[in-house]
Amino acid sequence: MTTRALVTGTALFCVALLGELVAVVALVAMVLSTVLGMIFLVPPVVRLVRRLTGLNRRLAREWSGVEIDEPYLPEPDPPVRLPDGWYRDGRSLYRTPRIPAFNRRLSWLLKDSATWRDFGFLAADMWAGGLLAGAPAILVVVGVVQLAGGSPIGLLWLLLVLGAARWYAPWAVHVHGVIARVMLGRTEKARLAQQVSRLARARTDVVDSQAAELRRIERDLHDGAQARLVAVGMTIGAAEELMESDPAAAKALLAKARDASSTALQELRQLVRGIHPPVLAERGLADAVRALALDTPLRTHVTVELPGRLNAPLESAAYFAVSEVLTNVVRHSGATQAWIDVSTSGDRLRITVTDDGHGGADASRGTGLAGIERRLGAFDGILALNSPMGGPTTAVIELPRALQVVRPPVTWRTVTMGICWSLCWIPLFPQGFVAMILKLVGITEKSWFLALHMPPSLQWPTIIGMILLGTGMLATAATLSAQHRKANEVACA
């Protein structure tokens, strides 16, 4: 664990160093575009910056366990051709959409606050999170170089790394992820803009899907239960006419009407179950999926880990998505077994359906899987399908924000806590205890120790002050962390 954290911290420092170089390139490109009018340099530079910050978000998720959402505003729509064949951009008209599209994209890139936050992160990451995460590796290099040069101070650096790496390296990697989330996370404006864009795209699909569902219900009622009820009425009328003249025939017609009414009732129940199953409304998604598995003609294994009930629309969307996936498994996969796993990850609901069929499923070739995507799209959900030829087939249904997970807002307490945790080691160890050891041993090497550069009368006060400063920052961070943890426990209770 410690070795992995050390390697991870070194890699994060290298990525931060690369980000510093990219920030310099971006600054030069912005200056050239402003001074010399080389505006064509802006889009590729911004794409490069976003690619590198996207790498930092992925590393924060995989290495630090910190989830960072994409903060960018939705891309602009392409230019629309006017009836006369021209394309309008402001007060100008163009024959081709190239220039209007470029102008829209340029305005989108420059007006998005996330673009400038990305620049700021790349410029500051080297001196904040990167230096923090890569401090052990830097101290090892400094110690080796000084030992190679004959200076005994290098041994102190190596001993410091060996003594503190066990707790420092994992903590520094996590703090780097927290810093990245603060600087690269999604703002409220970007979140609302992305949500509006997704809802606008999903609205048409949802309306079309609802219209198709209403047509299906109308067709099922007209061709099924309604026709049977009409037949029941006609059969009862015929039985009334034969009641006196031929009681046996009338009795047979009534028996036939009873069977038809029973069939119509069964069809109505199936139709109601298709609209919203009673078990889903009464007992929730977990039991509804189990009931669905029992009705499936395959051997189906169900694993459910849910903290409680979800909102009714989310439960309905998840249930019918699972139902459609199982229907496809039964009809097309040739499978003998299926596995359903319902779990949560943070505030996300994740449902995985796996079968041992022959594979080859493709969402673009059928309407069932496309219908699932439309249904999930209303809730920003996704359907990921992996179905190689020969099987097995795995369908992953994911619904974000399905669970109510309260994230604490960024306040002065959290900012102070982060600063103290990030910087307390500098005055406490290098400028404090290490300088004190050098002073006691009598080594005259001053290096970058602040106290040793002071006049002799101020060296000990400076060392003691640094130790007290680092201890105070450490105590402040620990106190704020305890208060934060206690507040979360009270909120959860």
Task: Report pLDDT digits (tens) over 376-427.
Answer: 777 778 888 888 888 788 999 988 877 765 455 656 777 787 778 777 778 8
Calculate mean pLDDT across residues 232-247. Answer: 80
pTM comes to: 0.52
Q: Tokens representing 216?
A: 């299906």
What separation in angstroms does the CA of 172 have from each of 13, 156, 331, 395, 421? 11, 21, 52, 37, 9
Please enumerate in sequence order all residues whose Cβ is within 8 A of that of 188, keeping only pairs 6 or more positions apart, or say none.
none
- Residue 5's pLDDT band, with cuts at 50, 70 and 90, is confident
Query: Is it true that the peptide bond before 392 is cis, omega within 30 degrees of 0?
Result: yes
Q: If we measure between CA atoms, which residue out of 472, 427, 473, 470 comes closest to residue 450?
A: 427
pLDDT over 70 for what percent of the chain? 86
pLDDT for position 240: 81
- Residue 213's pLDDT band, with cuts at 50, 70 and 90, is low
**pLDDT for residue 103 is more than 80:** yes
- Residue 183's pLDDT band, with cuts at 50, 70 and 90, is confident
Q: If we measure between CA atoms, which residue out of 363, 357, 394, 362 comes closest to residue 376?
A: 363
**pLDDT for residue 156 is more than 50:** yes
DSSP 234-260: HHHHHHHHHTTT-HHHHHHHHHHHHHH
- Residue 98's pLDDT band, with cuts at 50, 70 and 90, is confident
pLDDT for position 492: 47
Q: For residue range 287-299, what is the model confidence (pLDDT) as tens digits?
A: 888 988 888 888 9
First-to-last C-alpha distance (Å) of the chain:
33
